[in-house]
Structure 1
Amino acid sequence: MTDGTTVEVVRSHLVSVAEEMRATLVRTSFNPVIYEVHDFGISIYDPRLRLVAESTGLSRFLGANDYSVRKGVEYVGVGNLHPGDVVLMNYPYWNAAHSYDATLFAPVFDDELIGFVCVRAHWMDLGAKDPGYVLDSIDMHQEGLIFPGTKVVSRGEPVHEIHELIRFNSRMPNEVLGDLHAQIAALRMGERRLVDLSVRYGRDTVAEVIDTVIEVAEASTADALAALPQGSWTAEDWLDDDGVTGDPVKMRVTVTIADGTCVVDFAGSSPAVAGPVNLPLGATIATARVAFKAITTPGEAANAGHFTALTVRAEPGTIFHAVYPAATFTQWTGTVALELIYKALAQGMPDRLPASSGGDVPGFMMVGVHPDTGKLFAVSNNEPVGWGGTPHHDGIGPANHLAQTQARMTPIEVLEARTGMFFERLEIRTDSGGAGRFRGGPGLRRDIRFVTEGEFLSVIKKTRSRPWALDGGHEPEPNQVIVFPGTDREHRVSTRRTAVSPGDRVTVLTAGGGGHGDPRDRDPAAVQDDLAEGYVSAEAAHDLYERKNPS
């Protein structure tokens, strides 16, 4: 039996391999959504396709790679995988994401198969019907070139025809192929390090360590589940629309914790809709995993053992289990669903969970032709929001949404240099956080002036309803995008492509977090601090935080 020291050394080595893959990807990618925003997921598997380690990355990719790699191996066939192979997968119903989240995986051999390495990252263009981001597709075939599990490298040699197929089907071929090669470089780094580990400790020892760390994870998760309140709780919410019809889209979840298991069931949610807000099942599972990990073992590096007690259910043909040919490009459903799960859980464990944290991710992008290069650009940013107040402290903010806590904002310098946007203002959005004994964190305000022609894309799915509060707290201000402010063309949009010209302006207002507890119970000193920081106005402080009459 392997001793505890060896177990910990090998476990840490596996995690460090994933982090080294991450560093390779960040240093070699062409696309700022990868090297600045960190819109990627990196993971390592044993020969049985059990997750053994992953790097930091986009939170909602936790578990998405598991689903994709398993489907990809099933499609290609493990007997058809050889040393040096790299497989590309972006078929959304298997890939657990939309078609521009390209998943590459490679088998790793030390004489025999010892595992798999995987890198998922967002590509900026694969020939979908619109450049940049697709907001109103009605089926998969409007969402770009599809690879169901296709070798881009075979036995160490690039498959030239596939690379050329990508080149001739992308509006941004240099960037996309550059990111493809960056992902391959990260996979190669992972392969080398895993082989080094296998040679140093032996295949049998590494396999025994993996069994041990997965068993330990299962045990720690079981202990955590046993300590949680037992019961079943249901919550509902709505997306603004599906991007096509304008009709709101119902979301419903029931979370049950009992007998050492957790079941997340999306029964009662809307059937699949016309627009691209349908979520592949793998993405739904990944969303539930984020919430499950947060309430059980948030301080432990994830592996397969942390999720054996979790079951996720969604009927095929609904928004949480998209089937061919349903449109899936706008993945914001998963972001709102993560908070929906927390909303249900908060009923059973109000002392453990915060109020809503913005309710959504307010994203934007500009697409156009750069005046200096004459080439198409498409650069995006996901804005931070205010986090919800908790039973013990205020919500932080502005900060990246719970669904992507490891991601980052695109720096202003990158946005201005690579697009036609100039940023005139970036500041705290006063009075955006929900009032409470512990207030929600504030959102922000960003004012944009355009210096070239192009299209401004806004991607928000919760502007018609406010994020939720808890225990008598107040709801915060929701996300808003105002196009052409101060003109006779001024209006508010949610998910929309808007043609812009030099001199046009847009204001982005991001949501605050929900308040927790009665605002009249807030410490007066904390209210004074909020005033000094600009989180609340004097009027709001007077109207919302007037103390209860002593009894």
Structure 2
Amino acid sequence: MTEGVDGATVEVVRSYLVATAEEMRATLIRTAFNPVIYEVLDFGISVYDAKLRLVAEATGLTFFLGANDYSLRKGVEYVGVENLHRGDIVMLNYPYWNAAHAYDATLFMPVFFDGTLVGFLCVRAHWMDLGAKDPGYVLDSTDMHQEGLIFPGTKVFERGEPDEKILELIRFNSRMPELVIGDLHAQVAALRTGERRFHEILAKFGVPSVNTAVEQYLAVSETRSRDALRALPQGSWTAVDWLDDDGVSDDPVRMQVTVTIADGTLTCDFTGSAPATAGPVNMPYGATLAMCKVVLKALTSPDEPSNGGTTAALDVIAESGQLFHAVYPAPTFTLWTGIVAFELIYKALAQGMPDRLAASSGGDVPGFMMVGEHPETGEFFAVSNNDPVGWGGNPDHDGIDATIHLSESTVRSTPIEVLEARTGMFFERVEIRRDSAGAGQFRGGCGLRRDIRFRSPGEFLSVIKKTKSRPWALGGGQEPEANQVIVFPGTERERRVSTTRVAVQPGDRITLLTAGGGGHGDPRERDPESVRHDVAEGYLSAETAREVYGVEETT
């Protein structure tokens, strides 16, 4: 124990810093203009010490776990710590430094106490438009400059005062200026909330005691993480999967990872993956790091608040210029690569610990969006949603039905009421997709069916990168149905697509069918009563019960 700081004080300091991040989160949710922030929770909020170490983090988008670490280091390096003053707020969305695409705007603030730099605060949030070549998602960009206005680390507030020229630049480069400027100010409000709370704990305990407490709990978190890794099966396992395409060509894109657990370290090596693609599925290295941090934390400390210690036992290898380490000017807007690759890491790990892990959970996030003019107000809108999928069957229980993908398990789908009120979409049907789950002793979860009718003209966008191959199963289980998008069903124009942008008119329809989860174990070993229950609840047809599970009487 460090002299002068007892265990109780360490825990109080840690909890106070976590509460600081959570209060920043509450401020952002209450003040944001954009439903992707206040409904879906597409943001990341972090607190750092003066050494740029993550000391606390609020619950937000799962994929943003630790993502601000890389962004903050790059931003401070670019601006220069000597050029930062109290009240400065810096904006960064340069994708290769920001660990995300251009519409994920990171704002960070230095925290000074008694004239000394003591830490940093970060708020990353998804903006809906920043002047990219197309409204909404950019699906077929071929370089970064088609993906929106770029800020490499630009002060939007200096010594507490806004730089109106920068704000006007943002305003005049957005199709939705009020929304974007409103969200920027919501992030500023969250940062200022965090600054006040940070000052409170420093005033209460003093800078030396807080710094000592942070040192201790970061060390404890790292030790626990490494010990947890040592308790897992040791070895190296390789897995391969494919993206449907890169958004520009129809060619599949190879992903490969070798995962090694050895001597208290988790290594994810993406050697063997495709080189950077022409289309926007490339991953900035910081985003690849964040994806791997989520896996490490899930394996070692899923119930503990995250900090720099919990993810210190990670090594990520991705060659510069490769799919998982994009460099300028490679396009990066469609980051669904990370979602499919997230499951790829688990696919590799499952070879070494099949009795610990679930089968594939839908394989991807089925995202969609509509852009256009609102049928009542005439205002431009761009509103998105990420649909739920079935989670994979586990070694001892079924997968969850129709739940947001595990890579985004801490966020929410956009409510139907919001989608209908703020767009030209009307949802005629939302229901469980029967027979979509992978069969098994413990079946995967079922996906979802969503039928949309359009009330006004506009464009419909779908973003899915795994429709041409099915998610994987484990232990003799069966693969589930894959994601599907059917545009203009029942007409001469009907076709099945994955990632697409299509013009729609009033009365047009689109059907979304999301993937189920992979099955775990031999379906013939499933409890017949569970099969009958699934038939009665509409999850399973009597035909599938008979042919796959061997259960004849289901009524």
TM bin, normalised by shorter chain, reads over 0.9
1:342 aligns with 2:346: yes
> What is the one-letter code of the residue matched to 1:532?
A
1:127-526 correspondence to structure 2 within 5 Å = 127-526=131-530
Match in the other structure for 2:30: 27
Distance 1:529 1:109 in 2: 60
Q: Secondary structure at the match of 1:264?
A: strand
- Contact (CA 8 Å) 1:279, 1:322: kept in 2 or not? yes
In 1, distance between residues paired with 2:381 and 2:522? 48
Deviations 1:239-269 (A, max 9, x none): 0000001110000000011122111000000
Normalising to structure 2: TM-score of the pair? Answer: 0.98
The residue that corresponds to 1:103 in the other structure is 106
Aligned residue identity for 1:412: I
- Spell out, residue by residue over 1:357-376, the C-alpha distance to the aligned partner (whole angstroms, 9 max, x if none): 00000000000011322221
- 2:550 maps to 1:537: no
Deviation of 1:114 (Å): 1.0
> What secondary structure, in the 3-state scheme, does the structure 1 residue paired with 2:309 have?
helix
Equivalent residues of 1:108, 1:114 under 8 A apart: yes
Map of 2:68 onto structure 1? 65
Structure 2 residue ranges without an equivalent (≥5): none
Q: Is the CA contact (8 Å cut-off) linking 1:438 and 1:515 kept in structure 2? A: yes
Q: Once superposed, what is the RMSD of the aligned Cα atoms?
A: 0.9
Amino acid at match of 1:323: V
Q: What is the Cα deviation at residue 547 of structure 1? A: 6.7
Q: Deviations over 1:430-456 (max 9, x none)?
A: 000100000000001000000000000
Q: Which moved more, 1:515-524 or 1:290-299?
A: 290-299
Question: Which segments of 5 or more consecutive residues in structure 1 lack a partner in the other structure?
Answer: none
For structure 1, which segment, 78-87 or 371-380, has the greater mean C-alpha deviation from structure 2 after superposition? 371-380
DSSP 3-state at the match of 1:305: coil
The 2-side partners of 1:447 and 1:279 are apart by 32
Match of 2:43 among 40, 59, 63: 40
SS in 2 for 1:134: coil
Q: Which amino acid is 2:157 matched to?
A: V
Is 1:11 matched up with 2:14? yes
What does 1:81-96 align with in structure 2 at a 5 Å threshold?
Answer: 81-96=84-99
Cα distance in structure 2, aligned partners of 1:311 and 1:147: 29
Which has the larger displacement, 187-196 or 298-307?
Answer: 298-307
Give the corresponding residue for 1:77.
80
Instruction: In structure 2, give the amino acid aligned to 1:166.
Output: I
User: Do the aligned partners of 1:428 and 1:535 also contact (CA within 8 Å) in 2?
Assistant: yes
User: What secondary structure, in the 3-state scheme, does the structure 2 residue paired with 1:307 have?
Assistant: coil
C-alpha offsets along residues 151-208 of structure 1, whole Å, 9 cap, x if unaligned? 0000000011100000110010000000000000000000010011100110011101
Shift of 1:504: 0.2
CA contact (8 A) 2:89 2:109 kept: yes
- Give the 3-state SS of the residue equivalent to 2:226 in structure 1: helix
Contact 1:360/1:401 (<8 A) preserved: yes
Contact (CA 8 Å) 1:135, 1:496: kept in 2 or not? yes
- Asked whether the 8 Å contact 1:128–1:142 carries over to 2, the reply is yes
Q: What is the distance in 1 between the residues matched to 2:551 and 2:474?
A: 19
Check conservation: 2:336, 2:365, Cα contact below 8 A. yes
User: Is the Cα–Cα contact under 8 Å of residues 521 and 547 in structure 1 kept in the other structure?
Assistant: no
Structure-1 separation of matches of 2:453 and 2:15:
47
How far apart, CA to CA, are the structure 1 residues paired with 2:53 and 2:435? 46
Q: Which amino acid aligns with 1:538?
A: A
CA displacement 1:93-140 (0-9 Å, x = unmatched): 000000000000000111211111100000000000000110000000
| Aligned partner letter, 1:49 | L
Tell me the SS of whatever aligns to 2:332. coil
What is the aligned-residue identity percentage?
72
1:60 counterpart letter in structure 2: F
Which residue identity does 2:154 align to in structure 1? T
| DSSP 3-state at the match of 2:310 | helix
- For the residues of structure 1 that align with 2:375 and 2:363, how far apart are their CA atoms? 37
Matches of residues 118-129 of structure 1 in structure 2 within 5 Å?
118-129=122-133
The answer (yes or no) to whether the contact 1:243–1:275 under 8 Å persists in 2 is yes
Cα distance in structure 2, aligned partners of 1:349 and 1:547: 30
CA distance in 1, matches of 2:102, 2:226: 36
SS in 2 for 1:170: coil
Aligned partner of 2:375: which letter?
P
The answer to whether the Cα contact below 8 Å between 2:531 and 2:551 also exists between their aligned partners in 1 is no
The one-letter amino acid paired with 1:183 is Q
- The two structures have a TM-score, normalised by structure 1, of 0.99
2:99·2:284 contact (CA, 8 Å) conserved in 1?
yes
Q: CA deviation at 1:219?
A: 1.1
State how far apart, in whole Å, the 2-side matches of 1:57 and 1:368 are: 28
- Cα contact 1:427–1:446 (8 A) shared by 2: yes
Number of paired residues?
A: 548
